[in-house]
Structure 1
Amino acid sequence: MSKINRYVTIMLSLALLTFSAAAPMSAQAKAASGELQAKKLAFAYADKTGKRLLAAGVTSPQRFTQAIHAPGMQKQAIFVKQQKATEKSNGRQNEWNFNQDEGGLFKLAAGKILHNSSVLLAEKDAFQGHRFLKYQAVKDGKLEDDVIAAVEKAKKRKVVKQGLLGSAPSGVRIALVEFERVKGEKPLASLLLKTEQGLLFQDFVGTEDEYSTWRVDDGGEISAQDFRILFVTASDAGYSLAYEWFGAEGSSLEVLQQQKTKFRSVLEGYRYTAPV
């Protein structure tokens, strides 16, 4: 082989190696690594019996086969049909308007869940590589003083209100913390995930409206008791969780996944349930 041909061969090999390193991760590789994908998930809610579910705004709903309704608790979901809204619908996504609302209609293969509750629908392989953690919700719980000190150091703001939502093995804690108001800055609160490796924050930035600081008609208050955790998992990609945040007009829903030292939002949803 001539020196020129040898040089061309080497350069082509280097180019191929560079392309391979820079090539985006395939869907199969993402799934194997535990990376959650929004297209494999959807939010829904239950009817009065807790045996049927309705998911609005999803395409090809028959691909969803699992219903995650509480930490570590899943049931098989079977797609029934695409339900159309009726003229009697009041636009609410709750058990009383279930038969008049539109969306993908599912039934549970067996058993039932809490009526009118929010659930996360998932494709069969959506949580490949994940381990669902045993999560224990608590009432009126508090974080340890050293954790609060670490939170204040990380955020450079004093914690004025806090509430522990629950805990999981290996020192995992989930809590809501509210920080002191700082002149010139907007109100700040965070959903906190504390692990043995460190702290992860999902920040909520409020407004100066004393009657609707965090949510419409919240009276300026944000509380840990307004939050519910749907699941907590661990994978090679890190920790993941989903929460429901109850408000005067409805529930905000979100799936979060750890991305190194931060959270990334995988999926967001909302249930409009304002009183009629």
Structure 2
Amino acid sequence: MKPKMLLFILAISVMLTGCRGKSATGTETANSSPAIASKSEQSPPSATSMPHDPSAQLDMSKLSDLFAFADGEGKKLITLARQPEEAHAAEKEMQLYNLAIGDNGNVLNIRYAKHQSRTELDNGRQSAHNFSNLEGDIYDVVDGVAKPDASYYLVSDEQFDVRSLIPLEEMEVQDIPADVAQAIVKVKGRAIERGWLLAKTDEGQQVSVVQFKRWGDQMLASLVLSDGDELTFMDYPAQYDANSTWRVDDQSELNSRMFSILFAARTSDGIALGFKWTGAEGENISILKQSGNRFEESGIVSGRYQSPI
């Protein structure tokens, strides 16, 4: 499914209003996500500090579709509406969720607090500044601290075997290694316009995103997992639009700040990736599953409407 078509899943009850985003520059390599605001010097436990077992596998049939984001202090999370929209789940069910997985597989222990009702001050934006006005289920972060305003995937320890998480290196976004770029071009038969290395695992895999050169009105971007000589692609074809090709107001160009990897985990079929793609109007989140030399949508998707007011 194309990300532009996923908008919205995201909107829930809000009409999309395209707001001007920054033009992309093909030379950016730094990630501009906000720094962690903490009540202590302790960092959130990461995949490298969780129990790690190379033989453990994630059973994707057990996974839920519950996502959340953090408040401005990183002390609380509020859930995002699930799709298709459903009645509020029973408190007993919500209490089962005790783990929150964030960028690069960082795992936090959480505890259900309460259901929060919407207030008249809600402006429809699913952002930290509107946290106290939104309807959703509230969870307390019981150890460490969440990254303020960042998105998290909520699971129970029975649903998600955290030992299946593949540790990801903490790194700045970089240019794609030349040998990987050459291999991508060879497979696709298409020159790369711009691209970035987003993540590396401690097992040697690399996750990149590329925008290929335009062919007439045909545009193509791909998320690429490189594992030795093997490449796995999630393709995002689109029709050229000078203003909005993949996302509203993307100016037909991608940039490194749009993307991040939520987690990587082993499954019986390969690797599952939590993938975030941010645009001017908000953030799309999807969990992808490997099938041979390509990724497929798992059907577990969410998103946040964050368009500036």
Tell me how many residue pairs correspond in the alignment.
Answer: 244
Which residue is equivalent to 1:63? 96
1:97 aligns with 2:104: no
Greater RCO structure (CA 8 Å; 6+ sep): 2
TM-score (structure 2 length as normaliser): 0.73
Q: Secondary structure at the match of 2:283?
A: strand
Aligned residue type for 2:196:
G
Which of residues 222, 225, 232 in structure 2 aligns to 1:190?
A: 222
Query: Which residue in 2 is equivalent to 1:83?
Result: 116
**SS at 1:146 equivalent:** helix
d(CA) in 1 for partners of 2:262, 2:297? 15
Amino acid in the other structure paired with 1:206: A
Q: Which has the higher strand share?
A: 1
- Which residue identity lines up with residue 240 of structure 1 in the other structure? A
| CA displacement at 1:147 relative to structure 2 | 1.9
Whether 1:169 aligns to 2:202 is: yes
- Classify the secondary structure of the residue corresponding to 2:66: strand
- Structure having the higher Rg: 1
Q: Match for 2:179 among 128, 146, 165? A: 146
TM-score norm. by structure 1 comes to 0.81
Tell me whether 1:223 sits opposite 2:255 in the alignment.
yes
Unaligned runs of 5+ in 1: 1-31
Cα deviations across residues 190-219 of structure 1 (Å, max 9, x unaligned)?
Answer: 111111361111122233211111211112
Matching of residues 109-120 of structure 1 within 5 Å? 109-120=142-153
Mean CA deviation greater in 86-95 or 262-271:
262-271
1:40 to 36, 42, 64: 64
How far apart are residue 41 of structure 1 and its match? 4.0
Q: Is the 8 Å Cα contact of residues 233 and 293 (structure 2) preserved in structure 1?
A: no
CA displacement at 1:71 relative to structure 2: 1.9
SS in structure 2 at match of 1:115? coil
Equivalent residue of 1:126, what SS?
coil
Q: Deviations over 1:79-116 (max 9, x none)?
A: 12221111110111011111110111111122311111
Partner amino acid, structure 2, of 1:263? F
Structure 2: state its 5+ residue gaps. 1-55, 83-88
After TM superposition, the structure 1 = structure 2 runs for residues 250-269 of structure 1, keeping only pairs within 5 Å, are 250-266=282-298, 267-269=300-302
- The answer to whether the aligner puts 1:274 opposite 2:298 as a matched pair is no
Q: Using the alignment, how far apart are the partners of 1:192 and 1:223 within structure 2?
A: 15
Change in 2 beyond 3 A, CA 1:85/1:106: same
- Is the partner of 2:218 in helix, strand or coil? coil
**Is the 2:116–2:138 contact (alpha carbons within 8 Å) kept by the matching residues of 1?**
yes
Tell me the percent identity: 30
- Matched residue of 1:91: which SS? coil
Aligned-residue offset at 1:166:
2.0
Q: CA distance change for structure 1 residues 212 and 255 in 2, over 3 Å: closer, same or farther?
A: same
Check 1:83–1:191 CA distance in 2 against 1; reply closer, same or farther (3 A cut).
same
Q: Per-residue deviation at 1:240? A: 1.6
- Range that drifts further, 82-91 or 69-78: 69-78
Partner of 2:74: 50
Q: CA RMSD in A?
A: 2.1
Structure with the bigger percentage of helix: 1
Do the aligned partners of 1:234 and 1:240 also contact (CA within 8 Å) in 2? yes
Secondary structure in structure 2 of the residue aligned to 1:75: strand
The match for 2:28 is none
